[in-house]
Amino acid sequence: MQTAARLPSAPFPAAPRGSRFLRLGHPFRLYRGGCLDEAEIVYETWGELNAARDNAVLLFTGLSPSAHAASSSRDPSPGWWEYMIGPGRPIDTRRFHVICINSLGSCFGSSGPASPHPRDGEPYRLRFPRLALEDVARAGIELIDALGIERLAAVVGPSMGGMSGLAFALQAPGRIRALALLCSTAAASPHAIAMHALQREMVLNDPAWARGDYPLDAGPVDGMRLARKLGLSCYRSPGEWVERFGRRRTASASDSDDAFGAEFEVEAYLEHNAAKFAAGFDANCFLYLSRAMDDFDPAEHAGGDHGAAFSRLQLERALVVGVSSDTLFPVAEQRDLAEALEPACEADVRFVELGSIQGHDAFLIDEARFAPVMRDFFAALA
């Protein structure tokens, strides 16, 4: 197992400097076919593993974050979930050993379409096998096996990470005490699939995509920009747009000669965020992970029956959190998920609906609402 961070030779994979590395010494066979001969898994950790090795919390991310969920001595820069992880924070690293895994298929160090193929050193690109969230989850199983952890105190997953957490629980029954799913869903709805399909089409129709064979430093930027803008319209709520931007115009709007340029502040926000995303995330990785989200359905593990699938989970407790303004995974889906979990897995299941205005991305932003719920959940893990 390698534990020293490396500097990438190309824009991707770009693992954060606090990363640790696990290279599997055996073939990794994927859920929907295909095999990786030298799969690599990137992760970061916070807190100490206790002598009993039973205080570990495994965190799966949404589609686009890296494993850098919080600052540490190895990487003091703020992480994407800084308010949630650390001493005295809801996931208290004085009690728990937190492990955040970079999703297989991502472009932040774990094996994915942007990673070098072991046969020729060139990026996998579309040679990468079709990805499933079951593969993302099984990479987590490989990781805790390598770390000598038999049973986790909890698995936590927001958004796509919640689906990956469910996939983990389905494939490793009995190896989790508790499961926390935030702004997630059991399976993508037709609305979510439609939004993801439109995003993928924007990337695929960019000539610079070149059927996946683009230089890693010059990919389909326009397609990725458009895909991100559509994504943001699902990740944040209409009410938040009104509160943050209203119909205010940018300071330069009156000086512009471009009749169709970004005049409103909300347009400028979308453009800034989209350009940043397009410059920092690989297009093929985006396509693979997006499709994996749409494909995932726990019912596949039990002949089409969600209840039968969930009955295998063997959990002590579960937390399902939804946000009233989430339009990508509406709160009714989290309520249905909690109701399906409760009788099927015979666990203490708590459903919480939060009135946040930030929509699907609220778990990243709304500390005031999410932190107390998560603090209570982890406090109950005696």
Print pLDDT tens along the chain (382 aa).
333 333 333 455 578 888 999 999 999 999 999 999 999 999 999 999 999 999 999 999 999 999 999 999 999 999 999 999 999 999 999 999 999 999 999 999 999 999 999 999 999 999 999 999 999 999 999 999 999 999 999 999 999 999 999 999 999 999 999 999 999 999 999 999 999 999 999 999 999 999 999 998 889 999 999 999 999 999 999 999 999 999 999 887 666 677 788 889 999 999 999 999 999 999 999 999 999 999 999 999 998 888 899 998 999 999 999 999 999 999 999 999 999 999 888 889 999 999 999 999 999 999 999 999 999 999 999 7
From CA 200, how far away is CA 133, in angstroms rounded? 18
Bond prior to 13 in cis (omega within 30° of 0): yes
Of 326, 356, 361, 366, catalytic: 326
Q: Which pLDDT does position 4 carry in this prediction?
A: 32
Dist CA 222 CA 202 (whole Å): 8
Q: The tokens of 101 are what? A: 């895994």
CA atoms within 13 A on the CB side of 248: 12
Contact 290, 160 (CB under 8 A): no
Strands 35-36 and 40-46: unpaired
Catalytic, out of 19, 64, 159, 237: 159
Selecting among 19, 66, 360, 366, the annotated active-site residue is 360
The per-residue pLDDT for 344 is: 82
Q: Is 120 a catalytic residue?
A: no
Q: How far is residue 95's CA from residue 47's CA, in Å, rounded to a whole number?
A: 8
Compute the chain's Rg from CA coordinates. Answer: 20
159 classed as catalytic: yes
DSSP class of residue 54 equals -
Is there a catalytic annotation at residue 135?
Answer: no
Burial class (CB in 10 A: 0-12, 13-18, 19+), 215: exposed
Q: What is the pTM of this model?
A: 0.94
- H or E stretch including 222? helix 221-235
Give the distance, in angstroms, between the CA of residue 43 and the centroid of all CA atoms in the same chain: 13
Beta carbons within 8 Å of 5's beta carbon, 6+ residues apart: 15, 16, 17, 18, 19, 20, 21, 74
Tell me, what's the pLDDT at 111?
97
